[in-house]
Amino acid sequence: MSTPFRGVPVSFAGALLMLLAGAGPLAGQAQDSAPLVLETLEVTAERIRAVPPPELVVNVPGPVVQRQQSANAYDLVRRAAGLEVHEQGQGPGWASDVVIRGFTSDHSSDVLLVLDGVPINLPLHGHVEGYADWTIFSPAAVSGLRVIHGPASPLYGNFAFAGAVEVNTHADAEGLAASLGGSSYGEAGGWIRTGHRGASGGSLIALDGRREGGWRDNSDSWLGNLLLRGWRRVGERTRLEGGLASYAATWNSPGFLAVADYNAGHLSRAADRTDGGSGGRAILQGTLLHRFPSETQLDLQAWAQLVRSTVFLSIAEDGVVEQQEERDRRTALGFTASWRAPAGSGDVAFGVDGRADWDDYQLYGTQRRDRVETRQLSDGQFQQGGAYLRWRGFVFDRVQYDFGLRGDLLRVRARDRAIAGDPFRAEVQGAISPKAGARVLLGGPWSMVVTGSRGFRSAIGTITNPKQPLVTAWSGEVGVQLSGDRVNGQLSLFQTSTRNERILDPVTLQVSDAGTSRRRGISASLGVALTSRLRVALEGTLNDARITGAGDTTGTLVSTSLVGGIPRPKPSFHDVPLTPGARVPGVARYLGRAELALAATSALETRVLFRWSGPFTPIGEPGVRTRPYVLTDLGASLRIPRWGTLDLELQNLLNARYPEIRASGFLNPGAPRTLRAALRLPLAPS
């Protein structure tokens, strides 16, 4: 494997790395400047009277998102919002794993992604229910994103299990903005945004294109995004908004790498050079907002989605690697309606939402993309309706309360056409999800937050067995927050207890019935403006994730040996028993980030970022504990008069070797040292 830029000086980064490492291992990301004024992630519940529940959330403004030097949408969010992400590395349409507080279900299915109010997770899918392909959004028009921890918000039901990520885009634009960049591994791409803005309406068009060469063999790809948005005022109190978001991609896939190859240093090796795929999605949505004279507000939204994907991927079973083809063709329709009115010191809100999906999922055994076996031909139909009631306000001007109650009804019909005469199997299930939270103002910049909530998600495998019980969880958090002019931070204790958990092995696609489990831990963040030009940001999570009750899984335990510094299992890749007291597989013991940013001059900002991850037990390898790792990134932003801003970033400066994801003796290795550069043209007001 090539290792460019060996001669880059690392003395400063190395010294700071040793300083931080000496304080103990604690994965996080970067900030932005619009002129070059240092910014930090805002870990807060926004303003006291704002819409989010009174909990500790992460808000990231659009300029921070647009400045990130990232390989894809998952890496972008990892760097901008500090989320834990395990990249599958199999192409832009092959969804990676976004993790919040130790929920690692394949393809981000435990975290709800919402784009301009439209849910992205697929509730019925042959690979995994909740499949979330984040490729649908690009940074070109993002006005901001927000990360909500846990199922605390009553606005969201299915798959807002570990939390939700809300991505919002601008409804219009003024002038022209663009970015053009590339990397040392053959990536080239950029985006352009324009539009118009008036007193009674506006519009936006954004295009995003990327060609990826890839650092592994057979890992090249093409990706294009298109976003059209607009709005118009109808009278003094009514506003209409609408838009079309779409993407299309085609890619070759390097596949997963065997641990033996990883230990031998063959990191770029491809499993099967015929692996790859293509995919795309289009979302059409329209919104009506009306504000009554009494300050009561009515929001109505309707949307439609069209999804297509074809994936060829080699997977392992009993040590034998075989290729399979997955095809998914679906149409979905949905709506939301909410009404909010002032009530005393706060407000009352009521909302309803619903969706219907029609899915055609096909699975074949293939050899070099030629079909040799039909494994599954599923017809799936999904309908869901939900309603929520929310009441918020203040007591004695010091206690903000937020009570909510949500109810959902889900109906699934499915059959396998590969089985002659297989009838539709149907099931109806319901979920009641209470939500409660409070923020207590302690005086000065200090406050305390307490939340408790229940969430749920459709179980993995529902498309083949609609009677699978819903996965449910109770989640609670207690924390303190400091919101000062120069210092801000938070410290919280959290716990989530889960029933009917099912864990999907991302390599073998086997499913383990984990029974009951709990995640318990501490999360903290701190941002300090040491001077007007120098800022430091720290954040980390310590997580103890344990199985608390046995499921129905049976399997064979695997033993281990240590080869080349990474444990290597014997080649038996079935499900394994998950016994009470065992660690929840795939959950890192700790993770975190540290960033130091310096505005050296009015035109130059420099920064150094450290991300670290602790050991975890890979899915399907109960006797293995991986080793911790630390990654170092150096970056700079230079404003060039009349040209714009040049962003440079040298990622994985020390060329650390680490697994992005690992299960059943296979993994996706993390990217080596990479130089990324982008030129942002002067950003117009948006």
Q: Rounded CA gap, 522 and 649, in Å?
A: 31
What's the mean pLDDT in 619-627?
87
- Are 505 and 620 contacting, i.e. CB atoms less than 8 angstroms apart? yes
Burial of 410-428, coded b for 16+ CB within 10 Å and e otherwise, reads bbbbbbbeeeeeeeeeeee
Specify the pLDDT at position 170: 93
Specify the pLDDT at position 227: 97
User: Is the CA virtual torsion 319, 131, 403, 143 positive or negative?
Assistant: positive
pLDDT digits (tens, 9 = 90+) for 282-323: 999 999 999 998 889 999 999 999 999 999 999 876 667 889
Q: Is residue 276 part of a domain?
A: yes
Specify the pLDDT at position 552: 54
Residue 415 belongs to what H/E stretch?
strand 399-416
Lowest mean pLDDT among 1-5, 187-191, 418-422, 601-605: 1-5
SS3 278: strand
Specify the pLDDT at position 455: 95
Tokens 């002038």, located at residue: 175
> Does residue 470 have a pLDDT over 90?
yes
pLDDT digits (tens, 9 = 90+) for 123-153: 999 889 999 999 998 888 899 898 888 898 9
pLDDT band at 59 (very low <50, low <70, confident <90, very high): confident
pLDDT band at 549 (very low <50, low <70, confident <90, very high): confident
Q: Is residue 163 part of a domain?
A: yes
> Does residue 586 have a pLDDT over 80?
yes
User: Is the CA virtual torsion 158, 143, 135, 27 positive or negative?
Assistant: negative
Specify the pLDDT at position 569: 41
pLDDT band at 578 (very low <50, low <70, confident <90, very high): confident
Closest of 215, 212, 322 to residue 269, by C-alpha: 215
CATH number at residue 69: 2.40.170.20
> Does residue 560 have a pLDDT over 50?
no
Q: Is residue 68 part of a domain?
A: yes
Q: Rounded CA gap, 279 and 310, in Å?
A: 6
pLDDT digits (tens, 9 = 90+) for 268-285: 999 899 999 999 999 999
Lowest mean pLDDT among 10-14, 102-106, 351-355, 548-552: 10-14
Beta bridge partners of 663: 619, 666
> Does residue 19 have a pLDDT over 80?
no
The percentage of the chain sitting over the pLDDT mark of 90, rounded to a whole number, equals 59
> Does residue 559 have a pLDDT over 80?
no
Q: Is residue 624 part of a domain?
A: yes
Please name the amino acid found at residue 59: N
Q: Is residue 8 part of a domain?
A: no
Rounded to the nearest integer, the mean pLDDT of the chain is: 84
Specify the pLDDT at position 55: 63
Specify the pLDDT at position 77: 86
Q: Rounded CA gap, 164 and 114, in Å?
A: 7
Q: Is residue 605 part of a domain?
A: yes
Burial of 553-582, coded b for 16+ CB within 10 Å and e otherwise, reads bebeebeeeeeeebbbbeebbbbbbbeeeb
> Does residue 335 have a pLDDT over 50?
yes
pLDDT digits (tens, 9 = 90+) for 216-238: 999 999 999 999 999 999 988 99
Specify the pLDDT at position 575: 44
Q: Rounded CA gap, 365 and 363, in Å?
A: 7
Residue 525 exposed, middle or buried by CB count within 10 Å (0-12, 13-18, 19+)? buried
Q: Rounded CA gap, 100 and 85, in Å?
A: 9
Specify the pLDDT at position 27: 31
> Does residue 551 have a pLDDT over 80?
no
Specify the pLDDT at position 210: 93
Q: Is residue 655 part of a domain?
A: yes
Length of the chain: 686
Structural domain that includes position 313: 18-474+481-519+533-680
What's the mean pLDDT in 411-416?
95
Split into its structural domains, the chain has a count of: 1
Is the model more confident about 84 or about 242?
A: 242
Q: Is residue 555 part of a domain?
A: yes
